[in-house]
Amino acid sequence: MTPVTAEPGRTAAGAGTRMTEIADGVLAYVQAGGGWCVNNAGLVTGGGRSVLVDTVATQARAQRLRTAVHGVTGRDPDVLVNTHHHGDHVFGNALFSPAATVVAHERTRVEMAQAGHGLRSLFPAVEWGDLPLELPLLTFADAVTVHAGDLPVHVRHLGPAHTTNDAVVWIPDRGVLFAGDVVMSGVTPYCLMGSVTGSLAVLAELRALGATTLVPGHGPVGGPELLDATERYLTRVLELARAGTAAGATALEVARGADLGEFACWVDAERIVGNLHRAYADLAAPYAPGAPLDVGASFREMVAFHGGPPVCHA
Ligand SMILES: [Zn+2]
């Protein structure tokens, strides 16, 4: 892998954050740390065209991402794909639009409009900047293909998984999959706004693509082993939820008594609380994956579990 930076010899976006070429014309922008609101992005180039996959949370971080993109292509991307509606992935849109056409699943546009900048209130200490919310210009229902020159870039909606509006970006000619937040790497998955059982089904679909390189929504780039680890974690969440349901225990009680084993060291372990709330809902009748839950109440329980507000380094 070849690190590509706007200023040779220096990182493009602060300590440990780099734009790295992971395949011919395909680059991963990985922000070190990977926790709350510290997400990854990507860039696909070919034939003088380029596609950016996601932006980042704050104005300062988005400006650094743009500098890194210009360091590779010398210009703004033609297309910007949002993998889902969460603010860390979309708040930087305005810095790239209208030069880039913002593309997303139709539900992403709806959820973005409803959520607005609400994420900022969960982490008031972050210097968010003042970028306006830029909704997707072009939406799709199931899938759309963008062409970086001769290189097809498949954007496909799956789920509910991490949210109701997840899309993955698959470049079959390079074996690279940008998984959005459906897959994380060394970082705890978070399915409160999607579905645990739906995520497990999506992981099976992603495995069938046969990607050799996976860019997760948060954490370091990896391979198919990221699918395996995510599957093990979510299977454990379901086991805990089934046991908790049988015992009449609340999600918070189950979380407090849970042995997270290999997952205890993953970043943002407190998400077990939200994941259990979603798993309880998935197991209840009628089955309604992605049906809205009380995000605020779940977040307050995560704070109680964690012994204070979750740590956000955005
Ligand atoms: Zn997300």
Q: Which domains does the chain have, with CATH numbers?
A: 2-223 (3.60.15.10)
Which H or E run contains 22?
strand 18-23
- Please tell me the pTM assigned to this model: 0.94
How much is the pLDDT for 16?
83
CA of 265 to the centre of ligand 1 (A): 20
CA of 193 to the centre of ligand 1 (A): 9
CA of 159 to the centre of ligand 1 (A): 13
CA of 48 to the centre of ligand 1 (A): 30
CA of 245 to the centre of ligand 1 (A): 27
Give, in order, the Cα–Cα distances in Å from 192 to each of 156, 161, 189, 310: 21, 9, 10, 15
How much is the pLDDT for 14?
55
Distance CA 57, CA 81 (A): 15
Answer whether 29's CB lies under 8 Å from 57's CB. Answer: no
CA of 218 to the centre of ligand 1 (A): 9
How much is the pLDDT for 9?
31
Distance CA 116, CA 195 (A): 22
Instruction: Tell me if residue 132 falls in helix, strand or coil.
Output: coil
3-class SS string, 45-75: EECCEEEEECCCCCHHHHHHHHHHHHHHHCC
Q: What's the DSSP call for residue 250? A: -
Q: Count how many Cα atoms sit within 13 Å of the Cα of residue 231 in the half-sphere of its side chain.
A: 13
Region at 116 (left for phi over 0; alpha for psi -120 to 50; beta for the rest)? left
265: its two tokens: 């060291």
212: its two tokens: 């050799």
CA of 150 to the centre of ligand 1 (A): 30
Other Cβ atoms within 10 Å of 34 Cβ, number: 22
Measure the CA dihedral 5/10/15/18, to 10°.
20
How much is the pLDDT for 77?
98
Instruction: Tell me if residue 171 falls in helix, strand or coil.
Output: strand
How much is the pLDDT for 43?
98
pLDDT in tens, the chain (314 residues): 444 443 333 333 456 899 999 999 999 999 999 999 999 999 999 999 999 999 999 999 999 999 999 999 999 999 999 999 999 999 999 999 999 999 999 999 999 999 999 999 999 999 999 999 999 999 999 999 999 999 999 999 999 999 999 999 999 999 999 999 999 999 999 999 999 999 999 999 999 999 999 999 999 999 999 999 999 999 999 999 999 999 999 999 999 999 999 999 999 999 999 999 999 999 998 889 999 999 999 999 999 999 999 989 99
CA of 217 to the centre of ligand 1 (A): 7
For residue 216, is the peptide bond before it cis, meaning its omega torsion is within 30 degrees of 0?
Answer: no
Measure the CA dihedral 17/20/26/31, to 10°.
-10
CA of 181 to the centre of ligand 1 (A): 5
Helices 196-209 and 272-283 pack at an angle, to 10 degrees, of: 100
CA of 162 to the centre of ligand 1 (A): 7
